[in-house]
Amino acid sequence: MKMLSFISNFKNNLIVLSFFSLCILVMAYSGIIFITNPKIDITQAPNPYLENTIIAEEYIFEKKDAPVVIAGSSISKTMLNEIIIDDINYWNLSFTASTPLQSLNLISKSNSNPEIILIEIGWGILNIADNKKEIDTLTDPRLYAMKRFLPAFRKKYQPVNIINSYANRYIFKYREIDKSQVKEIKPEPKAYKVGLNGYLRLSENRPYDQIDSVLREMRRIIVDLEKRNIRVLFFETPMDKHLAEADAILRIKQKALFYFPAGKYTWISPPSEPGYVTTDGVHLTFASACKFYDYLRRETELLAQSKI
C-alpha cells in the first residue's frame, strides 16, 4: 500500500511540476518576445491557412487601428501585406479560400472601427469555406486576453516562424520588396489555361443559392458596421475578359447591386488601363497586384476627400 501511495503521490507531483514548468517556460518565452520584439515575416507561413490565422491575429493585436481595411478572398490577398506593410493606413484582411464575409465577421467581432472597409466583389463570393468557428475562437475574450499578455500563444511567434524569418533575412538574404523594381512575369500558358477552364466550369455550375446567402449575410453585418460610422466601398479586381463575361460573375454583380445598390453605396470601377496580368484568370500576378493596389489606394483617397 505504501508503495502504491508513493507512486500515486509521485505521479501527482510530477504533473504539478510539469504544469508549473510549462507556465514558467511560456512566461519566459513571452518575456523574450516582449524584450527582443523579433521581426517576423507574416507572409512566409508554411501554409496559406496558417497564414490566414497570422494575418487575422496581426489585425486584432497590431493593426486594429488601421483606417482602411481590405475585406476579400485569395483574389485580394494577392495584394500581400508585404506590399502595404509600411503603409500604416491600410491593412489587407483577405483570406485564402474564404469569402469577404469572413473578413467582415472578424472586423465586426473584434470591435475595431476602421474609417473605411474596401470589400471585394467577384469570384471569391463562390468560395465554400466557412471559418466562422475560427473567428469565434480568435475573438473569444479569454483567449484574446491570454494572447495579448502572453504572445507566445500567437501563431506569429511560433518558434518555426521565428526561425524561418531569421533564416530568410540573415542566411538566404531575402531583400525587402521594392515595388518600383518588380517586373511583370507572364504565366506559363498551359497552367494558365488549366486555371481559366476551372473557373469557367465553376461558372457553369451556377451556385446561385450560395451567392444570395453570402450577400445577405454580408448586408446584415454591413448594416451593423455602418451604425458604427464605418464607411463601406466595393471594388472589383481586373480579370480575364472571358471570365468577366461568364454567367456566374455577371450573376454575382447583378445580385451584389441588388443588395448594395449604387445609389446608396459607392463602387470603385475596375481600372480602365490595360496591362493587368493574372496567373489563372482571376488572381493577379505580383507585379499587377502592386499596380492594382496603387490604383485602389488612389481611388479610395479621392473618395475619402470628396466624401461622396
Domain containing 279 — which CATH number?
Answer: 3.40.50.1110
Same domain, 16 and 70: no
Please give the distance of CA 154 from its chain centroid, rounded to a whole number: 16
pLDDT-wise least confident of 73-87, 117-131, 219-233, 267-281:
73-87
Confidence of residue 10 (pLDDT cuts 50, 70, 90): very low
The answer to whether residues 199 and 244 touch, using CB atoms and an 8 Å cutoff, is no
Same domain, 126 and 11: no
Same domain, 32 and 68: no
The pLDDT, as a whole number, for residue 52 is: 87
Establish if 155 belongs to a structural domain: no
Same domain, 31 and 74: no
Establish if 171 belongs to a structural domain: no
pLDDT-wise least confident of 153-167, 180-194, 248-262, 277-291:
153-167
Residue 94 has pLDDT above 60, yes or no: yes
Establish if 173 belongs to a structural domain: no
Establish if 240 belongs to a structural domain: yes
The pLDDT, as a whole number, for residue 88 is: 80
Confidence of residue 295 (pLDDT cuts 50, 70, 90): very high
Region of residue 97 (phi > 0: left; psi between -120 and 50: alpha; otherwise: beta)? left
Establish if 172 belongs to a structural domain: no
Contacts 24+ apart (CB under 8 A), 142-145: 144/60
* Domain interval for residue 29: 1-37
Q: What is the pLDDT of residues 38-68, one digit of tens each?
A: 777 777 677 788 888 889 999 998 888 899 9
Distance CA 186, CA 66 (A): 33
Residue 217: which of 135, 139, 297 has the closest Cα? 135
Same domain, 10 and 121: no
Nearest 10 degrees: Cα torsion 60, 62, 68, 69: -40
Residue 6 has pLDDT above 50, yes or no: no
Residue 108 has pLDDT above 90, yes or no: yes
Establish if 280 belongs to a structural domain: yes
Q: What is the pLDDT of residues 142-161, one digit of tens each?
A: 777 888 887 888 888 887 77
Provide Rg for the chain, Cα atoms: 23
Residue 268 has pLDDT above 70, yes or no: yes
Residue 283: which of 43, 78, 71, 49 has the closest Cα? 78
Percentage of the chain exceeding pLDDT 70? 82
Same domain, 24 and 101: no
Distance CA 270, CA 59 (A): 27
Mean pLDDT score of the chain: 83
Establish if 86 belongs to a structural domain: yes
Same domain, 218 and 299: yes
DSSP state, residue 1:
-
The answer to whether residues 100 and 72 touch, using CB atoms and an 8 Å cutoff, is yes
Burial profile 46-70: b = 16 or more Cβ within 10 angstroms, e = fewer? eeebebbbbbbbbbbeebbebebbb
Same domain, 90 and 117: yes
Establish if 208 belongs to a structural domain: yes
Number of domains forming the structure of the chain: 2
Confidence (pTM) = 0.86
The pLDDT, as a whole number, for residue 83 is: 74
Same domain, 108 and 225: yes
Same domain, 5 and 70: no
